[in-house]
Structure 1
Amino acid sequence: MRHPWSRWATGVTVDGMTNNPAGPTGPGRLATPAAHLGTASPGLIPVSRTFAMRFTSTPRGARLARHLTAVRLDAWGLPYGTDDHDAIVLIVAELTANAVLHGNVPGRDFHLRLALLPIGPRSVAVRVEVTDSRGEQVPPRPCVPRPEVPAVDEIGRGLLLVAALAARWDWHPRPDGPGKTVWAEYETATQSDVHLLHSWHE
């Protein structure tokens, strides 16, 4: 179903809330699960929310991805104008810009996935995944410089910013075809998140 806001959104919006995902690829599960995100604290049901959509590999597609991320984060309890909201939107902006500039294959979309997961009684993690179709055009691993890329390379600057904002980031080959997924995890601990997590399973 095409998103009504723009013809540059080409996929389906997935806004899931699940207490017991059916399997590794079921709703609410990450494409590459991390152990530190898999367990909620005692007394909290392990609830996750996800959003996923395909976008055209164009600047307009990237702008729409940023806009819908901002809307979704606000709906998840990370309000507009807060440091956490702005940081996550900036991470999405950098990763989607890289997908458009460096991962673009004519006629292929890029895919954005967001996942909000509790990681403790007073903290949540937002995982951002951006998948494109160019598996041969990969970023350097975190903290591993690539000698042939100048220090002022655009993708390098963007990933330095992502590394400064996120708790961790990396990339892996696309599991369902040619390409790669670049992901970043942002952690936040605020009282509003606690209220949000409790409201999901009341």
Structure 2
Amino acid sequence: MKPTNSLPELIDLAVSKHKTSVRQMSFVAQKNGYRVTATTLNQIRNGSYKSKPSQETLAAIAWLAGVDETLAFAAAGQPVPGPPLADELPPGADNLSPKSRKAVVDMVRVLVDLEAGNNEQRTSDPEDATPRTLRAVAPTSDTRPGQKTEPDHGITELHGDEARNIPVPPREQLAAHPKVKTRSEQLDEETGERDGDIEGRF
């Protein structure tokens, strides 16, 4: 017998087994406690089903085809679910406070995301963890024709090889050095010199 390796093939197998239509099979499944519709079965069979089949749908297909559920889940590329987690919780779990219940549910959500591989977007690139070299540089000014030559007192950060290739300027040229005067101090000095020139004339 040809091995069954896809959901459409499982549904074809179910049709052959029950010798009836997909619509009738959905009624049979529902009568036996499986929630699945004829529309879902038909769409999966003809390849037009756009959603991810639910666990209930996969269990219904497996039952209709007369195969183990593991085959249906494998055909859908999904892990086989274990027993209900609620059945494994210790006695007294139902008596937890709303705050404690929320903490448990949040933790389960995190674990589900981790095992589903959804944490890849939150995992940083290992290269990003490498410390980057920062080196201070002296302020630069725009000396193009027609441009003001007042110094730009902004801070420029360079990283990696770009930083290592630029020498560190003398301390007296660094903006944080006490010998460097602020623009306000320079204006005060210029204003004081002008005032002194004017007073000397009289």
Assess same fold via TM > 0.5: no
Name the one with the larger helix percent: 2
Q: Relative contact order, CA 8 A, sep 6+: which one is greater?
A: 1
Name the one with the larger strand percent: 1
State TM-score, norm by structure 2. 0.23
